[in-house]
Structure 1
Amino acid sequence: MLSKITRLRKNRQFEYSPRYYDGQGKGNPYKIEPKFDQFRSTLHKQRGLKNKINNAFEDAKRKGDRNLKLRIIVIFAVLLFLALYILDFDLSIFFTE
């Protein structure tokens, strides 16, 4: 009678499959990768100063959005004039009369 209380039972087994695992064996289903890793040019490159400089030059050669530079300049100018207006900056010091 004491053996029924102290005896360890065998663990139950359940068939568990993760919710988003397709079963095709495409890697680890629990591995979380950032969404844009495949588009990053600096990911999985060799380290070192020379490689970092070469990667920076390659990134600078790529053409991005054509309107990006214009948009940044306009935003910067608006913020600059807004800051000058708030500070009540007088532009007459640059003009001689």
Structure 2
Amino acid sequence: MGPIKFTIIKKLKTNNRFNYTPRYYNGKDGVDESKYTTKIDAYTESYNKNDFGSHWKDARKSSRSRGNMEFNSTILIIVAILVFIFLWIIDFDLSIF
């Protein structure tokens, strides 16, 4: 019997995306092969014209904004109110400080 894997704690491994282009298919345009050492290296970073999933993923990455990364003040106020309600329920006394 092997070790037990806890998938709740550790994230599952995501599948790798296979970027395959047949030999005589001209699906990848605009790749300058002279910049790379081999032809395989030149085409690994580009996507096929009909690979809509990869194009969609790149468009999502480019359109993301970091405007909502700061801590929300509404959440801070709600947490403070809940802490004060909890302290009132357990009859916390501030005179001990």
TM-score, with length taken from structure 2: 0.30
Q: Which has the higher contact order (CA 8 A, sep 6+)?
A: 2
TM-score, with length taken from structure 1: 0.30
